[in-house]
């Protein structure tokens, strides 16, 4: 009996050490978007069809998986950039904030656009 208790305590210690190495809980939606939330002191609640992790809400039917990760894997837009933001890249696609595709020649200085390049999607303010 004493051996089982020692073995159980060793296993629990190993799991605790392993769990501490993950700093994020990442949620992936059915459309491939990933959102990571810090796992430290994370509170998860479910109300109706909504799961809320920290302050981030998710519709349960749109979640495809969730897993612990060591880095922030968020793929959504997270900042606004100024400048040319990959305009030289032929694969750049630009949308206005209503989701309409915009030609590079039709950009207005000071306006914010959604810019999709090979390296990701972000909000950008056109400055020229």
- DSSP letter (8 states) at residue 61: G
118 half-sphere exposure, CB direction, 13 A CA radius: 6
- DSSP letter (8 states) at residue 103: -
Residue boundaries of the structural domains of the chain: 2-69, 80-125
The reported pLDDT for the residue numbered 85 is: 59
Burial degree of 105 (CB within 10 A; 0-12, 13-18, 19+): exposed
The reported pLDDT for the residue numbered 12 is: 59
The CA–CA distances, whole Å, from 68 to 44, 92, 95, 128 equal: 14, 32, 33, 42
The reported pLDDT for the residue numbered 11 is: 62
Digits of tens for pLDDT over the chain (128 positions)? 566 566 566 665 554 445 557 888 898 887 777 888 888 888 899 998 888 888 888 888 888 898 988 888 876 655 556 665 555 666 678 888 888 888 888 888 888 888 877 666 777 888 77
């Amino acid at each position: 009996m004493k051996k089982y208790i020692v073995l159980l305590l060793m296993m629990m210690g190993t799991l605790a050490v392993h769990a501490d190495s993950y700093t994020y809980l990442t949620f992936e939606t059915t459309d491939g978007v990933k959102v990571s939330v810090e796992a430290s002191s994370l509170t998860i609640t479910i109300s109706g069809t909504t799961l809320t992790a920290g302050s981030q809400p998710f519709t349960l039917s749109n979640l495809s998986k969730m897993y612990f990760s060591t880095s922030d894997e968020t793929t959504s837009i997270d900042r606004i950039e100024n400048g040319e933001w990959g305009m030289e890249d032929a694969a750049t696609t630009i949308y206005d904030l209503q989701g309409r595709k915009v030609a590079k020649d039709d950009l207005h200085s000071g306006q914010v656009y959604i810019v999709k390049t090979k390296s990701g999607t972000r909000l950008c303010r056109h400055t020229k």
